[in-house]
Structure 1
Amino acid sequence: MPSKVRSPPHRISISPLTHSAFAPFGTVIENPLTSPSPATLLPQSVHANQGTAIKYLDVTNLNNHYPLAGSKRPAKAVINMFVCAPRRLRTAPAASTPTEDELDGFSSPSQGETVQLFDVSILERHPYTPQTFIPMGLPTKSTCSSSSLHTYYLVIVAPTLPSRRQRYSTTLPKPYPSAEPAHKPTLVERFKLGRPAPFTNDSLPPPSPAIDMELNLSGNPKGRGMPDLGNIKAFIARGNQAVTYGPGTWHAPMVVLGDKSVDFVVVQYANGIANEDCQEVVLERVKGASEGAVVEVDMRSLEKLMSARVYENGRINSKL
């Protein structure tokens, strides 16, 4: 049974999917030679196929973290296919406050106009495994005319709240072993730590693994916290982009917009234990609010995001 959390009203604007913007949540996989938003560090490459191909090495992280799971049941690599139908949107008045697109110079609906909204009603995480979504057959701007480009997919993610800042209770099992209770040092121990001991080579103890987990070092699982509903992000992806959600990353199920279904090949690890493979929370709007977390979909802005060819620091160059 998924936990339920209250989501305050929050309208989320759509941003382009870039390496830098998505880095806190996972990896964007795309051809570095044709990407309008190249990664800061290009992956290592070698020639392959008798010199007719370039092979990029380790373009994403697919480490198995199931040894951290409480059951200790081994996991195996699985490859599934998701056929994702377009989502239904609802019509509502446009937000009266400026959106990020407006601040970037893009046209957005004025006050009094209506927009299409997607309600974010559920978030999930896979505590011990990355999860890579690879779209198949979705056209890109370079392969079709603008009049035939009517299908998109959105990537919706949320940061993880540190456990110490948990703002609501949950019935979800903890995805990682709880840290041992902190030892309260005695007066003598505090004195010894105040200055280096002159006759020993003792050093301060290494940081706790639980602390490293909270810091979310590159490639490590996220912490035990719930999603930060005030900082949900929505990205629009091109047809030649795949994404890897980092282990433990809170994300919405894949959101397809437009005319057609999109086929995704999905690669991850799984051990068959439901609460260790996937954990979910249902978002409910707070009492008295007309909406909760919603993504504002303006098709005119989406067309501009998809057609722009230059990105600067993870943001669209509005001077094009």
Structure 2
Amino acid sequence: MTPLPQNLIIRSLTAEAFAPFGDVIEARPETMRLINGGTTERFHALATPDVVGDGARVIINIFRGQPRSFPYEIGMMERHPLGSQSFSPLNGRPYLVAVSPDESGKPGKPQAFLARGDQGVNYHRNTWHHPLIAVGEVSDFLIVDRDGPGHNLEEFFFDAPFTILEPSL
């Protein structure tokens, strides 16, 4: 018997709710410092890239995500054992984040978060997550990622997908 798909509840992205999976990158008042003679607000140390392995380096990319159609099925998750990965929207558009707790080396039931257009995420190294989920229109993201030798991608495919209904923007 094939398991039936399960609907996921979309939650607002907050630092507290997302903490088991990584960091929320946003301009929080407690991280602000004035620099450049008081003309610039610096929101300091919002996330720390984490890469391991000989020859590894931190790189910066732009990903251009195509919008997903809803309802959208989450049929797989991926993780990067050798480096963290951050996504920060460049177009100011909201997007969806789907993550799973690790359950003995496999992803558990996913959790879905609606990220505002001024919030980024930094997935901790080895965190199960779904690839980029752009909403509404083509969206660009600044990605801080690992480059270098070694196998830095694991994928897992669920027996039955999880469904995300249309997010309320």
TM over 0.5: yes
Instruction: State the shift of 1:294 in Å.
Output: 1.1
User: Which position in structure 2 is the counterpart of 1:227?
Assistant: 107
* Structure 1 residue aligned with 2:157: 282
The CA distance in 2 between the partners of 1:8 and 1:53, in whole Å, is 52
Asked if 1:81 is matched to 2:96, the reply is: no
Aligned counterpart for 1:137 among listed residues 77, 87, 91: 91
Aligned length: 168
Q: Is the 8 A contact 1:7 1:283 kept in 2?
A: no
Instruction: Decide whether aligned partners of structure 1 residues 295 and 29 sit closer, same or farther in structure 2, where only a CA change above 3 A counts.
Output: same
Cα drift, residue 57 of structure 1: 2.3
Equivalent residue number for residue 14 of structure 1: 10
> Are the counterparts in 1 of residues 49 and 58 from structure 2 also a CA contact under 8 Å?
no
Matched, 1:157 2:99: yes
Alpha-carbon distance, 1:284 to partner: 3.4
Inter-partner Cα distance in structure 2 for 1:271 and 1:76: 6
Deviations 1:263-306 (A, max 9, x none): 01111122243xx2111112232xxxxxx311122x5xx13xxx
Q: Check conservation: 1:76, 1:271, Cα contact below 8 A.
A: yes
Q: Could you tell me how far apart the structure 2 residues matched to 1:245 and 1:279 are?
A: 14
CA-based RMSD of the aligned residues comes to: 1.8
Q: Counting strand residues as a fraction of each chain, which structure ranks higher?
A: 2
1:7 and 1:25 mapped to 2: Cα distance?
26
User: More helix per residue: 1 or 2?
Assistant: 1
Give the equivalent residue in structure 1 for 2:140.
263
For 1:263 and 1:78, the matched residues in 2 are separated by 16
Q: What TM-score do you get using the length of structure 2 for normalisation?
A: 0.90
Give the TM-score of the pair, scaled to structure 1.
0.49
Structure 1 unmatched ranges of 5 or more: 1-5, 34-41, 67-72, 90-116, 140-151, 164-224, 286-291, 304-320
- Distance in 2 (alpha carbons) for counterparts of 1:25 and 1:7: 26
SS at match of 2:37: coil
Matched position secondary structure for 1:62:
coil
> Are the equivalent residues in 1 in contact too, given 2:67–2:138 (CA < 8 A)?
yes
1:161-310 aligned at under 5 Å gives the runs 161=103, 163=104, 225-228=105-108, 230=109, 232-258=110-136, 260-273=137-150, 276-285=151-160, 292-297=161-166, 299=167, 302-303=168-169
Higher radius of gyration, 1 or 2: 1
SS at match of 2:83: coil
Identity %: 32
Residue identity opposite 2:37 in structure 1: Q
Distance in 2 of aligned mates of 1:243 and 1:272: 24
